[in-house]
């Protein structure tokens, strides 16, 4: 069942091979704006895998606000068997590995994993210069095409894999990526990292779970606003974005499937932080519990002037809901008020939400996406669960999705 999920998340060239346990992983960083953030091509981010945080804000300050981040996926097959892939700190191995999966049976091999043991890093300005030079016949005049453009992973390694991997503009519409024909990568943001990983190269060492045979294509990107006129515009310089395209390469249809995000945030000094959940903003967040962060540690933000920062992980676009042939209604009316007993759909003439029927308060529309927009089966989930791990007492707290549930971590 070739199911696609898209997940877009916003968080308010090293090329190192690591042969730990005979496995390989490569990291690179986004560093164009005021954040420097590390990403690994095996479903890890924001740390060096050696115990050091690598989400530095502001860039160059030595201050860090996130220690680790990864994607979790789990679901049951038709026989009730749980399939699971997840990373925390990989103390006992890993579940995810670089590279795509075969479209025939969801398998792969170590050689393919090593072939994709890379992260492709590129800037919008590099593409703009390439386009200008190609269109004006200047490719051969004191210019070398950037490596990321030349070696963009547009196609799978063999016919057993998907023909198309990383997105590109096909200048002559021949279906084949060739920069000499004016083809170039399609990217998000002003700077982007692209990589692909899967959960079926080897057995799952972190969770011991049964593989789902999922292929995950990642675009990590940022924006850089030079000379912002005010703090609201400057805020874009403190954002990083993650887009996950999740493809089920198995022949199984999974039910009760959850796609989750694991974030270990340390706002500078990591032992005085709190966390909370904001349902309406589709965001979980972290902030300092004291007016002064830490006691002078290199990573601590200090305070109270300016006060320690806060950090949020906001979901901008969740996985698609199962199709039902309907444009599911929203309980939000034209006054942006929640009507628990009324279902609404936008009127294509007036642009206002009009009452249709009682609707379904529990269909995911409260914090979901694309409800009542006159488009069938484009609805997406927002966050449906939030859990915080309380290190002090070593227990899991399940936090119901109500705004501003605050727990000390």
Angstrom distances, CA of residue 183 to CA of 152, 177, 187, 191, 310: 10, 6, 13, 18, 41
- Model confidence over 339-376: pLDDT tens digits? 999 999 999 899 999 999 999 999 999 999 999 999 99
On whether the CB atoms of residues 136 and 143 are closer than 8 A, the answer is: no
On whether the CB atoms of residues 6 and 242 are closer than 8 A, the answer is: no
- For 179-185, what is the mean pLDDT? 98
Place of tokens 């300016």: 306
19 and 155 share one domain: yes
Residue 20, in any domain of the structure:
yes
Domain span at 363:
323-379
pLDDT exceeds cutoff 60 at 22 = no
Residue 390, in any domain of the structure:
no
Among candidate residues 194, 229, 264, the one where a domain is terminated? 264
The residues near 120 (Cβ < 8 Å, ≥ 6 apart) are 148, 151, 152, 153, 166, 185, 193, 194, 195
352 and 259 share one domain: no
218 and 330 share one domain: no
9 and 96 share one domain: yes
Residue 306, in any domain of the structure:
no
Return d(Cα 55, Cα 49) in angstroms, integer.
13
Among candidate residues 264, 283, 312, the one where a domain is terminated? 264
**What tokens were used for 395?**
């227990």
**What tokens were used for 110?**
């170590």
On whether the CB atoms of residues 364 and 370 are closer than 8 A, the answer is: no
24 and 111 share one domain: yes
Residue 84, in any domain of the structure:
yes
64 and 147 share one domain: yes
**What tokens were used for 46?**
């924001």
- Model confidence over 281-308: pLDDT tens digits? 999 999 998 999 999 999 999 999 999 9
Residue 385, in any domain of the structure:
no
193 and 87 share one domain: yes
Residue 273, in any domain of the structure:
no
Among candidate residues 264, 290, 309, the one where a domain is terminated? 264
Of the listed ranges 139-143, 360-364, 399-403, the one predicted with least confidence: 399-403
pLDDT-based confidence at 402, cuts 50/70/90? very low
- For 59-66, what is the mean pLDDT? 96
**Cβ neighbourhood burial of 317 (10 Å; 0-12, 13-18, 19+):** middle
């Amino acid at each position: 069942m070739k199911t696609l999920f898209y997940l877009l998340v916003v968080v308010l060239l090293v090329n190192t091979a690591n042969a730990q346990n005979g496995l390989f992983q490569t990291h690179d960083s986004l560093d164009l704006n005021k954040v420097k953030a590390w990403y690994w091509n095996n479903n890890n981010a924001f740390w060096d895998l050696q115990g050091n945080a690598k989400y530095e804000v502001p860039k160059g300050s030595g201050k860090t606000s996130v220690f680790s981040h990864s994607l979790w996926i789990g679901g049951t097959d038709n026989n009730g068997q749980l399939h699971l892939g997840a990373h925390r700190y990989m103390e006992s191995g890993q579940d995810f590995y670089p590279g795509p999966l075969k479209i025939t049976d969801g398998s792969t091999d170590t050689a393919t994993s090593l072939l994709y043991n890379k992260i492709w890093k590129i800037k919008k300005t590099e593409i703009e210069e390439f386009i200008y030079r190609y269109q004006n016949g200047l490719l051969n005049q004191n210019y070398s095409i950037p490596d990321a453009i030349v070696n963009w992973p547009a196609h799978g390694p063999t016919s057993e894999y998907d023909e198309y991997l990383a997105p590109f503009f096909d200048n002559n519409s021949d279906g084949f990526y060739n920069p000499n024909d004016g083809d170039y990568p399609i990217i998000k943001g002003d700077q982007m990292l692209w990589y692909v990983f899967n959960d079926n190269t080897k057995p799952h060492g972190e969770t011991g779970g049964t593989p789902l045979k999922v292929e995950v294509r990642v675009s990590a990107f940022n924006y850089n606003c030079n000379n912002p006129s005010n703090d609201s515009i400057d805020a874009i310089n403190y954002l990083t974005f993650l887009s996950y395209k999740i493809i089920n390469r198995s022949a199984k249809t999974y039910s009760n499937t959850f796609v989750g995000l694991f974030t270990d945030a340390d706002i500078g000094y990591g032992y005085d932080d709190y966390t909370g959940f904001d349902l309406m903003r589709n965001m979980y967040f972290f902030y300092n519990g004291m007016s002064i962060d830490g006691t002078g540690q290199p990573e601590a933000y200090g305070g109270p002037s300016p006060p320690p920062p806060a950090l949020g992980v906001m979901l901008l676009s969740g996985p698609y809901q199962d199709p039902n042939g309907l444009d599911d209604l929203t309980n939000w009316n034209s006054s942006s008020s929640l009507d628990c007993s009324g279902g609404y759909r936008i009127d294509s003439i007036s642009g206002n939400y009009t009452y249709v029927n009682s609707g379904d308060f529990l269909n995911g529309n409260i914090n979901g996406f694309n409800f009542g927009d006159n488009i069938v089966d484009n609805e997406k989930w927002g966050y449906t669960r939030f859990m915080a791990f309380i290190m002090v007492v070593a227990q899991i707290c399940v936090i119901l999705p109500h705004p501003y549930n605050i727990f000390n971590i």
